[in-house]
Amino acid sequence: MAVDVTNLFKATVKSVKSRNKLSGENGSGDKSSILGHTRKKGDFETKAKDVVSNITQLRDFLLTHRKEYVNTGSHLSTEASKMSDAERDQIDNDAQSIIRKCQESIGILRLDSSQQPVHPQVKEHRQIVIFLMGEYLKAICKIYSEQKAVRVKRAVDRKNISRLKPETKNSPIKNTDLSSLLKKTKDDGTVEENLSSNAKTPNLSKKVPPPPENQPTFSPDDDISPEEAQMFEEENKALYDEMNSMAHEVRQIEGKVIEIAKLQEIFAEKVLEQEKDIDHIASTAVGTTENIIDANEEIREAIQKKAEFRVYILFFLVMCALSLLFLDWYNG
């Protein structure tokens, strides 16, 4: 358990001060004013603190509006959602612009700090400070993207549930939560409920088309014989089952597609991380090939010069031999 001796220290400071006064020391301690002079904050520090406070504001903003944004009521909550989709879009845009601005300012800080001539320790410190800021920003971005992913997923789910695409004329009823509303649309028609993403749930009831105007193929005056009725009923049942299973599969596909999207995001992240390394490797490889080409040239020249040198040596030796012969003949 750590013991806080700060108070003891302060008391000691007071006693030492009074002791100094008593012994009449010239107050170099008088330099410190009673208020304690504030030191001027350096440039880098203020800018860094600004960026961090911006990011913190963004985080608070996202967290306070999170509940309404996500709107974790059921799909069919009859109460109006507290946030219209326009507001949601605006939140998205604002958040994105703030994130972009913060990233730019971090980049500017990085450039600045690398250009300034300072002590190596200070430089290292600043680099790590910038790194920590980047990490913080990444964490906040994650919050933001999670929120957005939830919203997109809910929109997709909602679209999925509310869209009906019956294949045949006698489309069966989908026995979902919408059964109460859709009882009106028992018979045919491509009842396409095209909900825009701005669909508030009360709109759902409005968008449900009025009872079908175009009647089915058989006139209501026709009598339906019992056998036909049974056949129709069986057909209905079969179609209904088929629709159910297809809808089920479609829902599964939706889920899987979202998972794939998530995976894509992870891959994209990893690829981006590797991008820098790959660029570096590519440039190094290019440099290497050039070096090798130059080296080959040099080697070729060297071989050629060696050959020439050999010729000269041979020539010289032959001349020496001839001169010897000549001298020999001359003397003798």
Partner 1 sequence: MELSPFTRKVNPEVPRLGVSTCHFVKMAATLREKQTAALRRMLNFNAPITKASSNEPQWKILVYDRFGQDIISPLLTVKELRDLGVTLHLNLHSDRDTIPDVPVIYFVMPTDDNVQRICRDFENQLYESYYLNFISAISRQKLEDIASASIQYSCVAQVSKIYDQYLNFISLEDDLFTLRHQDRDAISYYALNRGDVKDTEMEAIMDMIVDSLFSVFVTLGVVPIIRSARGNAAEMVAEKLDKKLRENVRDARNSLFTADSAPGQFSFQRPLLVLLDRNLDLATMLHHTWTYQALAHDVLDLKLNRVEIEESTNVQSPAGSPRPMKKKKSYDLNTNDKFWHIQKGSPFPTVAEAVQEELDAYRTQEDKVKSLKAAMGIEGEDDSAISMLSDNTAKLTSAVNSLPELLEKKRLIDMHTNIATALLEQVKTRKLDIYFECEEKLMSKSVQDKSLMELIADPEAGTPNDKVRLFTIALICGPHMSEAEIDQYCVALTEAGCDISPVQYVRRWKAYAKMTAAPSQYGGGGISSTGMFANLVSKGSQFVMEGVKNLVVKRHNLPATRIVDALMELKSYQDVEDYRYFDPKLLRADSSSVPRNKSPFQEAFVFVVGGGNYIEYQNLVDYAKSKSLTSPKKIWYGCSDLVNASLFLKQLGHLGKEI
Cα distances from 313 to residues 306, 310, 318, in angstroms, run: 11, 5, 9
Instruction: Out of 108, 122, 286, 327, point to the residue binding partner 1 (CB under 8 A).
Output: 122
Site for partner 1 in 264-283 (CB under 8 A): 266
Site string for partner 1, 240-269 (x = CB under 8 A): ---------x--xx--x--xx-xx--x---
Residue 66 binds to partner 1 (criterion: CB under 8 A): no
Instruction: Out of 74, 121, 219, 225, point to the residue binding partner 1 (CB under 8 A).
Output: 121
| C-alpha to C-alpha distance for 46 and 56, rounded to whole angstroms | 15
Instruction: Out of 32, 93, 203, 289, point to the residue binding partner 1 (CB under 8 A).
Output: 32
Question: Smallest gap, in angstroms, from Cβ of residue 197 to partner 1?
Answer: 26
Residue 195 binds to partner 1 (criterion: CB under 8 A): no
Q: How many residues does the chain have?
A: 332
| C-alpha to C-alpha distance for 165 and 193, rounded to whole angstroms | 9
Which of the stretches 114-122, 217-225, 276-284, 303-311 binds partner 1 when contact is defined by CB under 8 A? 114-122
Type of residue numbered 219: S
Residue 4 binds to partner 1 (criterion: CB under 8 A): yes
Instruction: Out of 23, 79, 135, 211, point to the residue binding partner 1 (CB under 8 A).
Output: 135
* H or E element at residue 312: helix 226-331
Cα distances from 166 to residues 124, 142, 173, 232, in angstroms, run: 65, 40, 9, 16
Which of the stretches 53-61, 151-159, 179-187, 307-315 binds partner 1 when contact is defined by CB under 8 A? 53-61
| C-alpha to C-alpha distance for 54 and 136, rounded to whole angstroms | 11
Residue 24 binds to partner 1 (criterion: CB under 8 A): no
How many chain residues bind partner 1 (CB under 8 A)? 52
Return all residues near 247 (Cβ < 8 A) that are at least 6 apart.
174
| C-alpha to C-alpha distance for 86 and 241, rounded to whole angstroms | 38
Which of the stretches 68-76, 87-95, 118-126, 286-294 binds partner 1 when contact is defined by CB under 8 A? 118-126
Type of residue numbered 80: A
At what angle are helices 226-331 and 120-162 packed, to 10 degrees? 150
| C-alpha to C-alpha distance for 282 and 272, rounded to whole angstroms | 15
Residue 119 binds to partner 1 (criterion: CB under 8 A): yes
Residues near partner 1 (CB under 8 A): 1-6, 8-9, 12-13, 16-17, 20, 28-29, 31-32, 36, 39, 41-42, 44-45, 52, 55-56, 59, 119-122, 124-125, 128-129, 131-133, 135-136, 139-140, 143, 249, 252-253, 256, 259-260, 262-263, 266
